[in-house]
Structures are given as structure tokens and as C-alpha cells.
Structure 1
Amino acid sequence: MVASASATVDSPQDQIYVESEWAALRECVYGSPETWVLPVFLSDVKLRAQGEFGEFWANNQGRDVKDAWPELFAEFSSQIKGAISLLESHGVKVHVAGEISAENRKYPRGQDHGVSTPWMRDPFVTIGNNVIELAPRSFFHRRQRFAIREILAATMDRGARYFSQPDGGADDYNEGPGWGYLEGGDVFVLGKDVLVGNSGGCSNPEGARWLQHMLGPEYRVQTVKIDPMFPHLDCVLMTPREGVAVACMEALPEGLPAFMKDWDVFSVPKSLAKGHMGCNNLVLDDRTVVVPSEEALNPVAEALSARQFEVIRIPYRVPCMAGGSFRCAHQPLIRI
């Protein structure tokens, strides 16, 4: 049976739509607290690993963290569950990523490179009513879609236009027309302006070109150069309200886009952005931001408070150690 093209949703509030980074979060996909298998070191992984944890990761590639470091996994799982509970307490509907089958864990090379479903920002993006499965450069991101395929497909009955970007296949990287790469951590929805980060290791200009083609003239897509030591734009930028940004300016060699030139920007140093994910926080709405409770992030919390935001602090130490804080963990389905 063919689904009716006139299928309707119960309420306009249930319709899939993401207006901006600072619109009120109503529904999202969030990372799973159940499974974390350290990705095998390929060129895409080395951008994430750092410090003492980076050494642990390098020495335990492909191992389940439950076995390799049980105490760390317990703290990690507890902190993700805490974030999900916080969202739900604020009325956000949360879909938690499921499992990836044994065979799909081998996609696309017949090798299991690890499972990173605790961070679900990268395999898709929602822009307006467009739900788009992306073509990440990173192998461990490429198979994340299999943990949420049913969630994404269900959006078609709720006003979404559901698309998939051409996949990158089994090669590490290809260049030229048709070889666009996009990862959700690089994509910012600022109304009709859409930013795509370009560090040289993840999303690329060809991916931004494809996104502009797919979205059409209603949107303006532009790339933002990032220091190669950072994988994604959301490692160096947060936009909690129109006209306000938290940014690592020394990691943006060409600065912010021209339309943001008069914004109030709180600049964080590279050490805070890289070592503690200082820009990668969770915007609940244009008045409320969640920041990890670690002491190193106090300056970010204080800067937001000074700009009249309510700042909520909860523990998130371990996900940050692995290179992904609150924004990396979720991808919205409704922000209106």
C-alpha cells in the first residue's frame, strides 16, 4: 500500500521543523548511553583523540569501553542519562539512538571500525522541514544512520521532506564534483543562513554546494574556514541567540561571516575550546543554555549569565573528554 500524500499530523506543534539554533528545542534525537566501542584510528579519528584519554583511545582501538575501562563507562553512561532526563524535564521529546546490527557495523568496508552512537549530531541534519541524511567523511559517522533510520523515516508522516545525500563509499576521501561530505557538527541553521564548517578533515565545500542545491534559493549556504586542529564548526562556535555568539576566534582564520559582524561575541581560547569543548553547549531556547558543570567552563557560564541567559550546569566530563559535548550528542527535529 502506498502512503497517502495527504497524511496529516495531529497538531502543528508536532510538525518537523528547525527554524534556528536558538529556537526552542521541542524534539530531538539524542545519543545512546548503552554502547561505546572506540573507533579504530583512521585519519578521521585522529582529530578527536587528545591528551590522556587520547592515549587510552590509541591503545584500545576497537575495544568496548565497558570492558576496557568499566568505571569510565559507568560515569559516561550516567552523564548521558542525566542529560536526557534534563531535556525531558524541560518538555523536550527525546528519541534515543538504537543499536547498529553486526553487519551494518562493518559498513562500508566489511570492517567494524567502532560504534559512536552516544554522539548523534553528525549523521543527519534538520533544516526547516528538510530531514537530510548526510554523507560524513568519518567512517564511524557513516554507519550511525542505521541506528536512527526508523526515527528519520517516520518524519515523513509529520510534514518533513526526507532526503539522503549521495554516500561517500568505501574510500577515505574523494575530491571533485559529486564527492561532497557533510557532518552535522559543521552545519549551523541561523534562520535562512546556513553555515558549513570546513576544517579540511570533515565537511567540504562540495558538500556545501550540494546542500545549497538541495535546499534551493530560499536558503543561503556558506562555508566557514576552521583551524585544522578542530573537526567541526560546533567545536569553535555557539549561537545561543540571534546577535550573540560564543566563539574561538583564533580558530576561525577568516573570521565569522559578514552578516555576523555586529554580533556580541564572547571569545574563548583554543585551549578551552579544544580541551573542554567550551563552545559545544546545549541551547534550550534563546534564554536558556546548558553548560557542563566542570570548573574549567565557569568563564563560559559567567559570560552567558552576563548576557541574561539562564545557565544550567550538569556533569558531562567524560563525553567532553572524548571530543563531543552536548551539541554533539543531539540533533533537533523540532526547534520553533
Structure 2
Amino acid sequence: MKDPDISRRTLLKGMAVASLVMAGFGMSRIFRPGRASARAGVPLGVAHEWGTLKEALVGSPHVKIPETLPPEMRRWFPRKWQAFFNAHAGKSLVEADPALYQRMDCQMSSVIEVLRDRGVTVYRTPAMTPAELGYLDSAFPACGAQLYPRDPLLVVGDKAIETELFFPFRRRERFGIRRALDRRVERGGNSVISMPPLVPSRGVAPGGHGAILEGGDVLVLGRDLLVGLSGNASNPEGVRWLAGCLGPGYRVHGVRLNSGFLHLDCCLSTPRPGLAVVCRDAFPDGLPQCLDGWKTIDVSAAEALEGFACNGLILDEKAMVLADEVPRVADRLRAAGQEVMEVPFDAVTFFGGSLRCWHQALVRESTL
């Protein structure tokens, strides 16, 4: 099927919102051919967080700042970003702060070189087109970012899933991801499963009736999957939907989080089997049982929320990339036997996500 013609699907006001949302997301469930290169015949596949990274989709510094910030975001968005938002509402990042845009692009490019030096094939999200920014714009004003492809796409085993996000305006992100990966997905023989769309419950309010699942909430630990439930993103219906999608060969565990954390990968990382970086303040019920017996590197809430200590980019069981804002945690990882490359990434973390948010693993090779 062809991609939806977004320019002809501008949302009508009032009662038409729900029907057009459902129509728009039933239109395309596979990526069509395009120009991206691919390793012929290699399907997408991720069995473990720590599998050797071979292919990844990464973000780009294309940001259109919203004119209004939903109050639900203010619970977890960095305060420094909220001030920036108030000063530059409605602008693109390159218009609002050209120096920040250039620093962000430079920092991202440096990490891309690290990945390529390690033999990783890298795909990058493109800027949104005017038609994509205009999708649903009569209900959700034109805004969007291609910083964090972790959330709209999820790869588990050989399944690639377009997820359903809590904030409806983030649905626009999937169109750029489709353009970045269209030929790659086809050559690998994968099809992409689209989650059922939400039916908005209160006009333009976020959330709605149905399953919500965001990739930042999902950690893949072999046949055990952890899904964070902070109340800010994924919901229990999303956990049940994912379990049904993957089938009886997987065990999908919902993990309750404190509401001050957005996603599970803000407070938990598994660099290798048996080793976890955790912020215990985020887990009111304690750590998930499947981590019993694991060695843990405990981090403070400040290190997790401000330094993104749990949000690194895992290259393989022995090596990872971490933002240079948490040197104490990097040293503890090295003491535990990990190779850690610290990189400047503050221009990216400024917007509320770090290295795991910025990349989506497409192919990880694992010995387990």
C-alpha cells in the first residue's frame, strides 16, 4: 500500500477528529520501496538490549517547537527546556537558536562516527515535510521533532512495530521514519505492524481510549520484556497488546514507575546480562523479579533525570556510549568491566532524552 497522502488528511474540527485519526493510521502497514541502502536479506531483529549493534536508526536536530505545551508534559520536562519553550514557542530550533542547532548536529554526527567506526550501519531521520507537520494540525498545532526515534518504532525479535504514543502530535514522527527505512525494511523481508489508533477521549487532550506503548518504556531481555508504567506514556492496555502481538513465547511484564519519570529507560539500563544500572527511587514496588541476582550500579534521581545515567547506547556486552554528564557512573561501569566512551551530548539531553532515546536498534546480534 502507498503511504497516506497527509496533505489530504488534515483533520476536521469537532466530531471528525476520532474518525480521521482511525482512517489515517489504517492506511499504511508496511514501508514502500525508497532510496535507503540495506544489507540485502538481513531481517530486522533484536533479542537482547546487549546484543552486538549492527544497524541503527538515529535522530536528527529537526525540531518545530509547539505553540503551547500540554500541562501533562510539565511533570517531567526539564525546567530549563520549559523556559526555552516559553521564549521560542512556534519556532523551529534553527530559527530559535542556531548555535544550539549546530552544536546538536555536531554532537550527533560525532556519535554517528563512533557507530560507523564500530561497523554499525546508520540510518537517520529526515526533517518533517510541511504536509507531515500539517497532519492533524487543526486538532494539534503544527509541531514535531525527529530527535528521538526510540519511541515511535519498536523492534522485538523479528517484529517491527509502529507504536501508539501518548501525545497525538507525536504520531507525525512515524512518517519520517518510514521514509528513512522504507527500502531497508522491504529488503529484510519484514513487515511493520501498526498498533490500533487511539480514540481521543476529550477532543484535543492527550491519551484516549486504547493501548499506548512507547519504545522508551520497553527493555528487551530475551524472552522477558519489561514495560514501564509511569502514567506519562505506556499504559496497561499497551502491555496487554504487546503480549498478544508477540505471542506465548514472550513474557511481558508491566513495571510501575514513579510519575516523576517519563520512561523505563530513564531509570534502568542493562549493559550486559547480570548487570543493571538502576535508579531505585523510580520503582515503588522494587526492581522487577527477572533482575533478581543481578549486580546493580545504583544512581541517584538527579543522575538519572538530569544526567541520563540510565540512558546510554549499548554497543555490545562489553562496550557502551554514555553522555559525559555522569562521570561517577561511567567510572563505576568501568570498574564493573565495561568499556565506556563518554561523549558530549548536552545539546540533545537539553530536550529531555539522551543516547538510548536518540537511537533505535534495528539489528542486534546476540550469542545467547
* Shift in alpha-carbon separation, 1:85–1:255, aligned structure 2, 3 A: same
Check 1:134–1:152 CA distance in 2 against 1; reply closer, same or farther (3 A cut).
farther
Structure 2 unpaired stretches of 5+: 2-29, 31-37
What's 1:256 paired with?
Answer: 287
Cα contact 2:199–2:208 (8 A) shared by 1: no
1:209 paired to 2:244:
no
The equivalent of 1:139 in structure 2 is: 168
Q: Measured at CA, do residues 174 and 99 of structure 1 come closer, stay the same or move farther in structure 2, by a change above 3 Å?
A: closer
The residue that corresponds to 1:317 in the other structure is: 346
1:313 shift after superposition = 1.3
> Is residue 2:196 matched to residue 1:166?
yes
Shift of 1:27: 0.3
Q: Aligned-pair RMSD on alpha carbons?
A: 2.1
**SS at 1:59 equivalent:** helix
Q: Structure 2 CA distance, aligned partners of 1:47 and 1:62? A: 21
- Alignment check: 8 A CA contact 2:123 2:181 kept: no
Letter in 2 for 1:28: A
Q: Which residue of 2 aligns with 1:87?
A: 115
Structure 1 residue runs of 5 or longer lacking an equivalent are 4-8
Report the TM-score, using the length of structure 1 for normalisation: 0.90
8 Å CA contact 1:287, 1:309 repeated in 2: yes
Using the alignment, how far apart are the partners of 1:230 and 1:285 within structure 2?
26
What's 1:38 paired with?
65
Sort the Cα spacing of 1:15 and 1:270 in 2 relative to 1 into closer, same or farther, 3 A: same
> 5 Å matches for 1:1-336?
14-33=42-61, 35-39=62-66, 40-110=68-138, 111-154=140-183, 155-169=185-199, 171-174=204-207, 179-294=210-325, 297-336=326-365
**Deviations 1:147-177, CA, capped at 9 Å, x for gaps:** 011344431431324201012255534555x
Task: Report SS of the residue matched to 2:130.
Answer: coil
Evaluate the alpha carbon distance shift between residue 77 and residue 48 of structure 1 in structure 2; reply closer, same or farther with a 3 A threshold.
farther
Rounded Cα–Cα distance in structure 2 between residues aligned with 1:302 and 1:271: 17
Q: Give the TM-score, by structure 2 length.
A: 0.83
Mapped partners of 2:143, 2:223: distance in 1: 36
Instruction: Tell me, in whole angstroms, the C-alpha distance in 2 between the residues paired with 1:37 and 1:75.
Output: 17
Q: Which runs of 4+ in 1 moved over 4 A?
A: 9-12, 173-176
Which range moved further: 49-58 or 251-260? 49-58
| 1:166 counterpart letter in structure 2 | P
2:52–2:315 CA contact under 8 A, matched in 1: yes
Q: SS of the counterpart of 2:192?
A: strand
How many residues are aligned here?
A: 324
Deviation at 1:205, TM superposition (A): 0.6
Larger displacement relative to structure 2 (304-313 or 163-172): 163-172
Aligned equivalents of 1:61, 1:193: Cα separation in 2: 41
Residue 190 of structure 2 aligns with an amino acid whose one-letter code is: A
Distance 2:64 2:114 in 1: 25
One-letter identity of the residue aligned with 1:228 = S
Contact 1:25 1:92 in 2 (8 A): yes
> Deviation string for 1:110-132 (max 9, x for gaps)?
34342210211110100000000
| Matched letter for residue 246 of structure 2 | L
Q: Percent identity?
A: 35
